[in-house]
Every structure is written in structure tokens, then in C-alpha cells.
């Protein structure tokens, strides 16, 4: 069984997006375990092929830099579909879309791997997935859409394109209640929509079960070094002392997004630093940063690392940086923390799946929905807004989460087996649907 799988993957300019790679990675793991081989659709096919040991083709391509925006995206979609329908001269022979068309023609099915980009904020991704889904339908190939956040902003043509895609799918997985509710308003057959956890919730889970802060409620924690890399330069400029072997101090993991919504970036950084100083100081935790959108070169600070630096430079408690490597390492890092603070989605996904008390910093409606959903899937509720952070109200939430770590761990243990069983059953359904 060969499955064409699209995710927002492919390292470009040395920058990796841990969460996007994680969902694609877990899809490859789960499909291979069920007998599939993968052809990935990637922004950097050669890099994706090497990273995951798969075949890979370039995306059809709806980036506004090449299409000129909405009108050009609409026209490109029409040309690609027309070319399949017999108007081959509508696309140049060297157009990358042909590689996708041929990959789908030769495949047994098509999977849209987990993601949160089916929204009017990202029309290029809406067009890409809609067009891929319609190519699958033209060739009679089963289509599955897995582990999605839909919206919350989904308007006009984007709403129509997403509805068309989901209608074409045999099975649709949605990772939070808000997305399930939105999809119901689109009129998609409820019999094929399923509430799921995020696709990457259990990435690498069996190879490296949760350890550290989540395991020992007294605060004895696991090691960032266990995440696959030694500590990097921290606030003092000295390398962290942790390594893969030996005892490790418990740590407060921090992963912030460069996106801070409407908040003033400098004020946001100062407020996070103030929050970390108080919480880490009272809990006796070292602060360790790991960026989820960052350069793979540990000597460069780009992407999320820039906000991390702005926070780190204001801290008075011990702090350092863990290098960004790959998704399994980031998952181990999150699950090994004693406490996690994040405005990014996948650090929360990894942490709560490991029973780690987690505080989500939501900066807009989109991040509120995602973080609330991620925490809620494992019984946690500690999500605060940027306004609460700036007003000083996040301290109490974070300290309450830390004080309640025994209860968090207990609730996690009660639901872990059931959630993992449901996740395995979901992947069984995905594989079954893709076999037609």
C-alpha cells in the first residue's frame, strides 16, 4: 500500500518547524506499522526524503510569492485540475504539479497529515490541500484528513474549499471540540468525522516513556540532555551542565512562539521573564528553553529563538537553552520537564501526553482554541491570555498548576491507556480507509 502524505514539512534555509515535522513523522510511523510505504509532499523533497526515508515530491505550489495572491491561486488550481481532465497543455511539462499528479495516480490513497493551517489565515495551504484532495477524487483514490484544527477564521472561498475537501474524504479527524463544531456547520457528514488527539501526541512514546518531573511529584526531574543534545549557552553564556548521563536537575521547560498577537513584543518578553523568575524561583526549577521554529545551527538565533533570547536576558534565575534538533528530541524534552510553559502548540501536546503540568500562553483566538484543546484532551485547563500575562495574573495560574502536579499526574494516569488505545484505533481506521 503506497500512500501520498502531505504535511507542512521540509527544512528550508536551515529552519525547522518541530510541530509540523512531528505530525508528518508520526503519520509515517503509524502507516508503516500498518504495511504502507510513503510518498511525501514537501517544500524540500530531498530533505524530507533523507529525514524520513521516504519518497518525496514537491508541493503543487500556491505560495503568494509565485502565484501573486488569491487570484493567482484560484487560477493555478483551475489549471492543475484542467490538465488532469485532458488539458495537459494547461501546465508546462516541468511544472512540479505533475509530480504530485503522478504520485497520486500511482498511489493507493492520499493522507492529509495533521495540521492547523486550514483557515483563512493561510489560503496557500487551503488551496494546496483542496487541490490534492480533488486530484485523489479524480483518480478514484481514497482520501483521509487526519488530526486537524479547522479555522477558527474560515470565510468565503476558503470555507467552500475546505468543505469540498472534507466532503471528498472518507474519514476526517479533528483534534479539538471547536473544530468538530465548526465542521458540523459546514454540513460535512458527521458519520465520518472523529474527535482525536493530535496526531503527534505519542511520537516516540514507547522508545522514551515520560520521565522526570512528571514521574516524581517531589520535583525530581528528568534531563533536558535526555532529549538528545547537551545544554547550550544560557543567560551567562556558559554551557549548561546537563548531559545524557548522570543526575539532572528538575527543569521548567519553556517554548515560546515568535508570534505574540497584538501584544507589545518587549512587554510580552518582560512579562514572561517576570513570570519565570517567580515560578521557577518558588518551585526550585532551572529554566530551559527549546525553540520549536528555529535554526538547526545552534550558533544561530532565528525564529522563536529571538523571543527566547529577549526573555532569557532578563531572567535572574538559572536558565539555559537546549538546541533544536528534531521532533522526537523535542517530545522527550517536553515529557521530561517538571513543569512546562508554552505559547506554541506542540510543546503542550508533548507535555500533557506525558503527564507534565502545563501552562499555555494564548495570544489570540487561534492559539486559545489550540492550546485549550491540547490541554483539555488530557484533563488540563491552565491556559492564560496575553492580557492576563501582561497584567500579572498568570503567576497564580502557573503556581496552581505546579502545586497541583500530583493531581495532574493522577488524572493523566487514569486516562493514558484509554487515550492511547483510541489513538491506535484511529490509525487502524485511517489505514483501513486508505485501503479503500
**What pLDDT score was predicted for residue 243?**
35
pLDDT classification of 211: cutoffs 50, 70, 90: low
Examine domains 2-200 and 251-414 and report if their fold is the same. Answer: yes
Please tell me the number of Cα atoms within 13 Å of 125 on its side-chain side. Answer: 23
pLDDT tens-digit readout, 320-355: 999 999 999 999 999 999 999 999 999 999 999 999
Mean pLDDT of the 55-61 span:
98
SS3 of residue 344 by DSSP: coil
CA-nearest of 117, 98, 21 to 58 is: 98
Rounded CA gap, 168 and 136, in Å?
9
- Fold of the domain spanning 251-414: Rossmann fold (3.40.50)
Domain residue spans of the chain: 2-200, 251-414
Tell me the whole-structure pTM to 2 decimals.
Answer: 0.92
CA-nearest of 418, 419, 401 to 409 is: 401
What's the CATH code, domain 2-200?
Answer: 3.40.50.2000
Average pLDDT, the chain: 92
SS3 of residue 193 by DSSP: strand
Amino acid at each position: 500500500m503506497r500512500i501520498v502524505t502531505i504535511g507542512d514539512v521540509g527544512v528550508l534555509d536551515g529552519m525547522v518547524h518541530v510541530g509540523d515535522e512531528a505530525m508528518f513523522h508520526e503519520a509515517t510511523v503509524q502507516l508503516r506499522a500498518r504495511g504502507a510505504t510513503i510518498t511525501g509532499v514537501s517544500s524540500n523533497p530531498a530533505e524530507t526524503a533523507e529525514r524520513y526515508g521516504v519518497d518525496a515530491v514537491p508541493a503543487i505550489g500556491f505560495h503568494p510569492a509565485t502565484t501573486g495572491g488569491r487570484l493567482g491561486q484560484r487560477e493555478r488550481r483551475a489549471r492543475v485540475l484542467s490538465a488532469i481532465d485532458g488539458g495537459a497543455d494547461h501546465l508546462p511539462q516541468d511544472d512540479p504539479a505533475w509530480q504530485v499528479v503522478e504520485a497520486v495516480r500511482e498511489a493507493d490513497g492520499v493522507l492529509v497529515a495533521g495540521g492547523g493551517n486550514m483557515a483563512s489565515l493561510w489560503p496557500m495551504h487551503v488551496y494546496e490541500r483542496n487541490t490534492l484532495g480533488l486530484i485523489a477524487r479524480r483518480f478514484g483514490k481514497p482520501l483521509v484528513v487526519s488530526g486537524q484544527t479547522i479555522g477558527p477564521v474560515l470565510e468565503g472561498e476558503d470555507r467552500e474549499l475546505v468543505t469540498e475537501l472534507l466532503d471528498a474524504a472518507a474519514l476526517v479527524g479533528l483534534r479539538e471540540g471547536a473544530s468538530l463544531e465548526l465542521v458540523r456547520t459546514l454540513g460535512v457528514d458527521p458519520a465520518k468525522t472523529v474527535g482525536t488527539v493530535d496526531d503527534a501526541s505519542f511520537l516516540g512514546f514507547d522508545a522514551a516513556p515520560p520521565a522526570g518531573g512528571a514521574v516524581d511529584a517531589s520535583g525530581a526531574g528528568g534531563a533536558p540532555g535526555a532529549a538528545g543534545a547537551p545544554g547550550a549557552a544560557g543567560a551567562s553564556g556558559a554551557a549548561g551542565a546537563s548531559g545524557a548521563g548522570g543526575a539532572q536537575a528538575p527543569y521548567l521547560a519553556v517554548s515560546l512562539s515568535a508570534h505574540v498577537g497584538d501584544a507589545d513584543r518587549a512587554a510580552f518578553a518582560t512579562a514572561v521573564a517576570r513570570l519565570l523568575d517567580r515560578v521557577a524561583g518558588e518551585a526550585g526549577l532551572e529554566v530551559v528553553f527549546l525553540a520549536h521554529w528555529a535554526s538547526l545551527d545552534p550558533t544561530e538565533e532565528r525564529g522563536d529563538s529571538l523571543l527566547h533570547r529577549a526573555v532569557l536576558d532578563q531572567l535572574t534565575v538559572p536558565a539555559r537553552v537546549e538546541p533544536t534538533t528534531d521532533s522526537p528530541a523535542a517530545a522527550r524534552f517536553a515529557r521530561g520537564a517538571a513543569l512546562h510553559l508554552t505559547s506554541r502548540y506542540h510543546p503542550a501536546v508533548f507535555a500533557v501526553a506525558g503527564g507534565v503540568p502545563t501552562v499555555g500562553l494564548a495570544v489570540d483566538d487561534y492559539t486559545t482554541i489550540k492550546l485549550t484543546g491540547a490541554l483539555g484532551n488530557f484533563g488540563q485547563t491552565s491556559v492564560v491570555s496575553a492580557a492576563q500575562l501582561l497584567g500579572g495574573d498568570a503567576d497564580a495560574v502557573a503556581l496552581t498548576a505546579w502545586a497541583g502536579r500530583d493531581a495532574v499526574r493522577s488524572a493523566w494516569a487514569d486516562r493514558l491507556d484509554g487515550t492511547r488505545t483510541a489513538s491506535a484505533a484511529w490509525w487502524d481506521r485511517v489505514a483501513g480507509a486508505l485501503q479503500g
